């Protein structure tokens, strides 16, 4: 195994020398290859489809997909019309009838494409025996007071607002297709508000959600990469004081980004829009690897002034090849561990960054020596400022290593105590700023209707069972039970319409529901619900083997939604249903389980990352003790950062589920460079000796901390709350890890190795 490692290293060193000897040819080849692969960049496919946040085997996603298949729909939009007072009720009804006419006319230009069906007051009136041409708006105002099938289903208690439900079956779920659907819905709403100035329109639903996600990711798509480039330039120029070397390092990192973007485009894979941050991450990680090498070049320029620039550059790359390889490998392992996440969006981001790190390693080891050599020219690397700061920090540590370790431990404990207060809340509304249009629309619906979100209960029956009188008796009792549960505002069901049919028959049926003749019930169900063999509707599946109830809820936390969903499903068991025949589903239910499921699945991913990274470090440093030693200062920072977030914000989202695994592979890079330097100075395992070693390696650690920490901090500027949390947690973890590497790791190293050496001596 060792001989194989040496053979690989000799091959890398040989390739480095050969490429370095033919710089123009190698650079031309690299540019051609990068250009060809980079041609795939325009073909990168992204989507804001919320389903990309849920794995294909996610039980809640499977429930919703089964529901969509049964009821013939894929996207639902709630459109609320509201007026300011009851005196304007006729205006509200006029706007509703006009809107229903648009939706009912396929040739109308304002009707959204792929509109499968909709439910409205005007569509239900003929079913209840009131044709629109013979039912003036003044009569409708009376009917909504008299008939629960109208008033309770569509209106708020004051009758100043009503809800329409639109369902669209979209074939194109890419950004372009979803944006077209949203634009059409927005045009329809705008038209109503223009034609009826006293009526306000608010929309919410899956289409609005995807547009909100696209809008929230605008910063990431337009500004994240340029700002990351600017931050890296500023850090490099501050650290090295050399414009040419700064540009050279950034140029090398851009090679990695171009290759990564190109592969993403040629793959044809549809990434979640949040994955665009992967390209900035690849650039920052490439720059971080080059920083250690450039500092080494600066040290050689001062200590070996007789050597020419080419010799110094090649020797510096050769000296740090091993830690660079291990650092890339451990970081890639951290991102590959995201494959244990339930969310495909996280898996895609992890795999994309891992692929980028493969390109990055090739660029750093083979192409970068040539680029950096051109960048150095006859100039010097002026990193005195960073080295002065490093000397001050290491001198401070050397004066009281034990006290520093205790102080860091106490502060970490305080931060970790925040984890006790952790509350996971992944309601989609929390993904956006409070002034975002989607949140404002949802708040407006809540203020007017008394509820602002729904979850669905789907009940499944054997053939013909749903149309039996005893089934509706059972259903009536189940609905009454659900209405008594905490937070439930109401339950939309077909019961009021069926009861209205029975009441208006000639003669009316006045008996108990259990005594309804089979034929009469069959008529009231089939004649009042427009169900065809090809498609279902809002309540019944096409084959009448499934029924859907809409549970109306106010704004709730994820934990409360989970508790209610589980309680409803438990209640159905008492009514004779099985887990397969009764299921609570919907986009709100799926989102409520985001963090919980991803956290559970990432426990394995985090353990995998820590195990593999520790094994790599152990093999690399030939020490099981150092492998175990690397875990503490790299795992605790992520937990401390999460604790800090909880202290400041109280709630965390799905970003917290991946932070340990992802950051472990990043922050361990500096640990590798420190331990590598310490193990090479075996005869300096004393307080002063460790201090001298730290003075040599800390400039690179400090500069990479600034580049990585500030680079990830930029993600906090995203309009997407998950990315904001990810940026804070990752950036905080990197800075906290630096404190551990400086004030804790050297002390632990001395404790395990320095004391042993003193005993031997």
Reported as a single tens digit per residue, the pLDDT across 136-151 is 999 999 988 888 778 8
Q: Extract long-range pairs of 438-447: CB within 8 Å, 24+ residues apart.
A: 438/204, 438/208, 438/209, 438/211, 438/212, 440/202, 441/202, 441/203, 441/204, 441/208, 442/202, 442/204, 442/555, 444/80, 444/82, 444/200, 444/202, 445/78, 445/80, 445/163, 445/202, 445/204, 446/554, 446/555
| Range 94-115 average pLDDT | 91
Q: What is the pLDDT of residue 200?
A: 95
If you search the block for the tokens 């209840």, which residue do you land on? 128
Q: Per the domain annotation, does 162 fall within a domain? A: no
SS (H, E, C) 206-268: HHHHHHHHHHHCHHHHHHHHHHHHHHHHHHHHHHHCCHHHHHHHHHHHHHHHHHHHHHHHHHC
Q: Tell whether 612 and 675 lie within a shared domain.
A: yes
If one counts the domains in the chain, the total is: 2
28-48 b/e (C-beta count within 10 Å ≥ 16 → b)? eebeeebeebbebbeebebbb
Q: What is the pLDDT of residue 535?
A: 41
**Residues 210, 212, 216, CA angle at the centre, nearest 5°?**
120
Q: Tell whether 351 and 490 lie within a shared domain.
A: no
Q: Tell whether 492 and 568 lie within a shared domain.
A: yes
Q: How confident is the model at residue 222 (pLDDT cuts 50, 70, 90)?
A: confident
Last residue of a domain, one of 566, 592, 618: 592
Q: Tell whether 531 and 615 lie within a shared domain.
A: no
Last residue of a domain, one of 535, 561, 592: 592
> Which range in 211-220, 381-390, 630-639, 662-671 is most confidently predicted, on average pLDDT?
381-390
| Range 466-494 average pLDDT | 91
Q: How far apart are CA 144 and CA 539, in angstroms?
A: 20
Q: Per the domain annotation, does 264 fall within a domain? A: yes
Condensed to tens digits (0 to 9), the pLDDT of residues 302-360 reads 888 778 888 898 899 988 888 889 889 989 998 998 898 888 888 888 999 999 999 99
Q: Tell whether 279 and 416 lie within a shared domain.
A: yes
The answer, yes or no, to whether residue 204 has pLDDT greater than 60, is: yes
395: CATH: 1.20.1640.10
Q: Tell whether 671 and 558 lie within a shared domain.
A: no
Comparing 258 with 268, the larger pLDDT belongs to: 258
Q: How far apart are CA 569 and CA 580, in angstroms?
A: 10
Comparing 651 with 307, the larger pLDDT belongs to: 307
Q: Per the domain annotation, does 708 fall within a domain? A: yes
State CA 85 to chain mean position distance.
41
Cβ neighbours for 524, distance < 8 A, ≥ 6 positions apart: 498, 501, 502
Expressed as residue numbers, the domain containing 552 is 458-592
Q: Tell whether 469 and 532 lie within a shared domain.
A: yes
Q: Tell whether 571 and 677 lie within a shared domain.
A: no
Q: Per the domain annotation, does 478 fall within a domain? A: yes
Q: What is the pLDDT of residue 754?
A: 66
Q: Tell whether 562 and 603 lie within a shared domain.
A: no
Q: Tell whether 586 and 601 lie within a shared domain.
A: no
Q: How confident is the model at residue 4 (pLDDT cuts 50, 70, 90)?
A: low
Q: Tell whether 615 and 563 lie within a shared domain.
A: no
Q: Per the domain annotation, does 465 fall within a domain? A: yes
Q: Tell whether 625 and 733 lie within a shared domain.
A: yes
What are the beta bridge partners of residue 490? 552
Residue 196: left if φ>0, alpha if ψ -120 to 50, beta else—which one? beta
| C-beta neighbour count of 436 within 10 angstroms | 16
Q: Per the domain annotation, does 606 fall within a domain? A: yes
Q: Per the domain annotation, does 327 fall within a domain? A: yes
Last residue of a domain, one of 546, 565, 592: 592
The answer, yes or no, to whether residue 512 has pLDDT greater than 50, is: yes
| Range 282-305 average pLDDT | 89
Q: How confident is the model at residue 684 (pLDDT cuts 50, 70, 90)?
A: low
The answer, yes or no, to whether residue 168 has pLDDT greater than 70, is: yes
């Amino acid at each position: 195994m060792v001989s194989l490692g040496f053979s690989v290293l000799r091959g890398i060193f040989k390739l480095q020398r050969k490429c370095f000897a033919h710089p123009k040819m190698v650079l031309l080849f690299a540019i051609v290859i990068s250009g060809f692969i980079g041609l795939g960049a325009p073909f990168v496919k992204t989507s804001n489809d919320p389903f990309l946040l849920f794995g294909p085997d996610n039980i809640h996603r499977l429930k919703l997909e089964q529901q969509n298949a049964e009821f013939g729909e894929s996207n639902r939009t709630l459109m609320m019309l509201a007026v300011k007072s009851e005196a304007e009720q006729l205006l509200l009804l006029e706007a509703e009838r006009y809107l229903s006419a648009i939706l009912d006319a396929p040739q109308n230009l304002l009707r959204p494409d792929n509109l499968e069906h909709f439910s409205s007051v005007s569509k239900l009136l003929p079913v209840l025996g009131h044709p629109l041409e013979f039912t003036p708006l003044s009569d409708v105002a009376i009917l909504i007071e008299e008939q629960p099938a109208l008033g309770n289903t569509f209106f708020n208690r004051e009758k100043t607002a009503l809800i329409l439900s639109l369902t669209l079956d979209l074939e194109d779920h890419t950004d372009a297709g979803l944006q077209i659907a949203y634009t059409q819905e927005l045009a329809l709403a705008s038209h109503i508000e223009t034609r009826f100035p006293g009526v306000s329109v608010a929309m919410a639903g899956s289409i609005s959600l995807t547009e909100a996600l696209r809008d929230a990711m605008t910063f990431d798509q337009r500004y994240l990469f340029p700002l990351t480039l600017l931050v890296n330039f500023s850090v490099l120029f501050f650290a090295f004081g050399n414009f040419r070397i700064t540009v050279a390092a950034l140029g090398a990192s851009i090679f990695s980004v171009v290759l990564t973007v190109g592969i993403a485009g040629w793959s044809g894979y549809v990434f979640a829009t949040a994955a665009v941050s992967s390209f900035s991450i690849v650039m920052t990680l490439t720059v971080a690897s080059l920083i250690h090498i450039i500092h080494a070049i600066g040290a050689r320029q001062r200590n070996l002034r007789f050597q020419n620039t080419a010799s110094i550059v090649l020797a510096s790359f050769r000296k740090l090849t091993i830690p660079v390889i291990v650092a890339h490998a451990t970081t890639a392992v951290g991102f590959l561990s995201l494959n244990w996440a339930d969310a495909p969006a996280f898996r895609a981001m992890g795999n994309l960054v891992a692929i980028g790190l493969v390109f990055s390693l090739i660029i750093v080891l083979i192409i970068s020596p040539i680029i950096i050599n051109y960048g150095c020219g006859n100039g010097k690397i002026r990193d005195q400022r960073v080295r002065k700061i490093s000397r001050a920090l290491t001198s401070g540590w050397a004066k009281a290593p034990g006290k520093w370790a205790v102080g860091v431990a106490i502060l970490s404990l305080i931060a970790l105590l925040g984890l006790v207060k952790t509350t996971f809340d992944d309601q989609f509304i929390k993904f956006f700023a409070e002034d975002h249009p989607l949140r404002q629309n949802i708040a407006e619906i809540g203020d007017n209707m008394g509820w602002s979100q729904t979850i669905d209960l789907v009940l499944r029956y054997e053939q013909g069972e749903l149309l039996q009188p005893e089934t509706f008796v059972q259903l009536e009792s189940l609905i009454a039970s659900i209405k008594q549960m905490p937070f439930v505002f109401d339950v939309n069901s077909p019961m009021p319409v069926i009861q209205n049919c029975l009441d208006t028959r000639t003669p009316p049926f006045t008996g108990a529901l259990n005594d309804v003749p089979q034929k009469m019930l069959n008529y009231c169900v089939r004649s009042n619900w427009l169900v065809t063999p090809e498609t279902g509707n809002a309540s019944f599946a096409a084959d009448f083997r499934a029924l859907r109830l809409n549970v109306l809820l106010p704004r709730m936390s994820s934990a409360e939604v989970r508790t209610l969903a589980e309680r409803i499903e438990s209640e159905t068991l008492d009514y004779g249903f099985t887990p397969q025949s009764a299921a609570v589903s919907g986009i709100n239910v799926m989102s409520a389980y985001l963090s919980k499921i991803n956290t559970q699945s990432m426990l394995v991913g985090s353990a995998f990352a820590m195990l593999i990274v520790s094994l790599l470090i152990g093999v690399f440093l030939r020490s099981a003790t150092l492998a175990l030693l690397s875990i503490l200062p790299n795992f605790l920072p992520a937990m401390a950062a999460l604790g800090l977030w909880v202290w400041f914000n109280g709630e965390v989202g799905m970003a917290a589920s991946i932070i340990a695994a992802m950051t472990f592979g990043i922050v361990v890079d500096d640990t590798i460079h420190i331990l590598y330097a310490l193990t090479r100075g075996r005869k300096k395992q004393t307080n002063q000796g460790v201090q001298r070693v730290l003075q040599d390696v800390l400039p690179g650690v400090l500069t990479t901390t600034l580049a990585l920490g500030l680079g990830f901090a930029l993600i906090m500027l995203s309009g997407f709350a998950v990315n904001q949390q990810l940026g804070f947690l990752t950036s905080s973890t990197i800075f906290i890890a630096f404190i551990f590497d400086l004030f804790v790791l050297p002390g632990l190293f001395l404790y395990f190795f320095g004391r042993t050496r003193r005993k031997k001596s």
